[in-house]
Amino acid sequence: MARDIIEVCEALRNVNEHKVRAVILTGRGRAFCTGRDLKESRSHKPEDASRYMRLAIEAAHTFSRLPMPTIAAINGACFGWGLEASLACDIRLAAEQAKLCFPETRLGIFPGAGGTPRLAKLVPMAVAKELIFTARVFDGTEAKELGVVSKAVPEEELLTAAVALAESIAKNAPLGLRSAKRVLEAAGDQPLEVALALSGKERLPLNDTADFAEGVAAFAEKRVPVFRGM
């Protein structure tokens, strides 16, 4: 599955700016993703475990680097690498009864596919430590209260809510969205002066785009803009 995600991401990175405006990652059936197969892991040699870990890290990182906004719709059980993959998305929605967990410390390891630092950037440090140190299960409603997800909704409404969110994003200009994503991601890792310099570097070229001209014209003409990623 990790290889499939990497392959899909490579295809998405090569599409025209206006072809794919937002991406939803969700599961089919009762689970979003339950992580590694522990029964299979029992037969792993050290090199097998290392190969698995490298693939898990690469898949989550590759998904996090997609240029367009990404949404995780957590429809059910979301454990281990599944939860780490959701954290690689820009926005997370969860079914209220979805079960989320970082079980790794019960197995002698810790969330190693990027989930640990991503969680620490997303929620207060004490919350991140509690969830990882205790390896406890929490539901979608609590995930919203803790700040792990943006919204918790009844399971039957989840995909509708995710699509509605994606559509509200997709109607906006793709060049601006992608530039904003790059600036937002860099802002948390850089001193303010460096982040401000990047913001200016990303923002100034957008003044000379067809999309900006279209946005201004559509506002003046009181109509919906048609952005083309140009």
Catalytic residue among 17, 58, 84, 142: 84
Three-state SS for 188? coil
Among the listed residues 7, 17, 104, 167, the single catalytic one is 104
- How far is Cα 172 from Cα 205, in angstroms, rounded to an integer? 17
Please say whether the beta carbons of 62 and 17 come within 8 A.
Answer: no
Q: Which residues of 118-140 are buried (b: 16+ CB within 10 A; e: fewer)?
A: bbeebbeeebbeebbeebeebbb
Instruction: Choose among 90, 91, 93, 107: nearest CA to 27.
Output: 93
193 catalytically annotated: no
Does residue 84 carry a catalytic annotation? yes
Give the residue numbers annotated as catalytic, written as ranges. Answer: 84, 104
